[in-house]
Every structure is written in C-alpha cells, then in structure tokens.
Amino acid sequence: MLDVLERTAVEAGRAILSVKPSCAGTMIKSDQSPVTIADHMAEDIILNALLRAFPGVPVVAEEAMADGRVPQIEGHAFFLVDPLDGTKEYINQSADYTVNIALIENGIPVAGVVYAPARHTGYAAYKGRASKFMVAADDGVCDRGDIRCRAKGGSLTAVASRSHSNAQTEEFLRVNSITSCLSVGSSLKFCLLAEGIADVYPRYGRTMEWDTAAGDAVLRAAGGRTSLVDGAPLTYGKRRQASDCDFANPHFIAWGADR
C-alpha cells in the first residue's frame, strides 16, 4: 500500500509543479477558499490511482466534495485526500504546500503520505512506522529514514499556521509559557512534530478532515497524538454534526511525545 500512496502523491506533485501559479486559473469556492487548475489535476491523478489499486474503498476528496460527490463510508475503511493542501501558499509561490493521502480505519488515520512537491520531500506512515524521504530528479523515492517525535524538554517549541493565527492560539502559547514558535503552512506542521523539530501544534481554527488526516497519521506513527481541547482524541469520518458540516474538525492540539 505505501508504495502506491507514495508513487501517487509524487505523480500528483509533478502535475502541480507543471502549472505555474500565475497560470493556474484561481477561482473562489463557496466556502471562500481558493482552488486552481493544479488542485483539480492532482485530484484526478489521485482518484484514478486509488480506484485502480483499491477498488471498492471509498475516497473522500476535497474537490469532489465541493462538487457534491459524497461517497458512502459507513462501515468501511476509506481514504481522505487533499490534492493540494495550502493552495494559498502555492498561489503565493511558497514551498509550504503538500499532497495529502490518508487511509482511515475505525475513525483512526492508520496510513498516510504527505508530499511537499516544491521541497521534493515527503513523509509517510504505515504499520506504526513513520519515515521521511526525498524524491530524486527521476521521481524515485530515496534517502528514506525513520523519524520520531522528540521527548518534551524544559521549554516547548510550537508550530503554527502562517495564515490562521488568532487570539486563542496566542493565549495557548501564553498559558503554556511557549515563546519559541515556528511558522509553516499546510500539513507540514504535523511533520515538524513527527521529526522532532517542534513539540506542539495548537489549532484554534476550522479545518477539514482531508487537511489533517495524512499529517496526523505521520504524527501518530512517530509517537505523537492529536487531541481535542478537552483531551479526547481527534477522530475521522465525522458525519451529521450538529455544530458543523460533514468532515469538519473541531479545534485540536497536536502534540509530540509526552516524554
């Protein structure tokens, strides 16, 4: 499975890189988020690859959902796909965007790939193992190494979004005496925790499950956890929510290792 997910993410990343942001035909969706030709190209590649490799496994993908194509996931393992997480970063020609593919079983992200095409860097989770890899000029995966969250020290380093900081995030940092904060876009925030560069990612803002599942899979496999603000675990496959739409996440805190 992991080989398929990695090859698919790299192929989708290659398609994204083939489109110049200035020529990407940016449009604004009904939720006021941007979408580009690159988003759609990458999603088509991923959906076709998953259908060929895993027929019968439902796929919840961001742009398909925006078009009203909602698969039945009840009682099934399913994939969550964000073909271009960090579209704003892509448009602004930052390298902080990713391709996200995750497998969900019983509400838990058990496998996933996060690939940052502009960095030629990827992260993977499978069978409880988290790894980081590079992608060579021929699109082959190379230089793979296992990664783990670092143990908590006397001071913590937080990682936060460049686009979504707010008063609640600032209060979390103050209450936890955190003065060191790294800023990065997309699901790379989870990956910085997973490889031991930072300790905590507080998210007091709206996200969707396809935004977080692949990065969360990598973090959990590296020894971290993602919890709601009340300490309950973040789960996936949330439908018929009274307070929000299907597949929307509540606020959460992603943590590296406890010790």
Rounded distance between C-alpha atoms, residue 21 and residue 212, angstroms:
24
What tens digit of pLDDT does each residue of 57-83 get?
999 999 999 999 999 999 899 999 999
Share of the chain above pLDDT 90, in %: 85
Domains of the chain: 2-146 (3.30.540.10), 157-255 (3.40.190.80)
Instruction: Note whether 99 and 201 are within 8 A (CB).
Output: no
For residues 224 and 255, the answer to whether their CB atoms sit within 8 Å is: yes
Tens of pLDDT, residues 110-154: 999 999 999 999 999 999 999 999 999 999 999 999 999 999 888
- The whole-model pTM stands at 0.95
Closest by CA to 122, choosing from 215, 49, 198, is: 215
Mean pLDDT over each residue of the chain, to the nearest integer: 94
Give the rounded distance of the alpha carbon of 204 from its chain centre: 16
pLDDT of residue 164: 63
106 pLDDT exceeds 90? yes
pLDDT (mean) for 198-202: 96
Instruction: List all residues 6 or more positions away from 234 whose beta carbon is below 8 Å from its beta carbon.
Output: 212, 216, 226, 227, 228, 249, 250, 252
For 128, counting Cβ atoms within 10 Å of its Cβ (0-12 exposed, 13-18 middle, 19+ buried), the class is: exposed
Distance CA 185, CA 91 (A): 12
Alpha helices in the chain (DSSP H): 2-17, 37-53, 62-66, 87-91, 167-175, 188-194, 209-221
pLDDT at 30 over 90: no
Bridge partners of 141? 135
Question: What 3-state DSSP class applies to 40?
Answer: helix
Please answer whether residues 114 and 74 qualify as being in contact, where contact means their C-beta atoms are separated by less than 8 angstroms. no
Average pLDDT over residues 102-115: 98
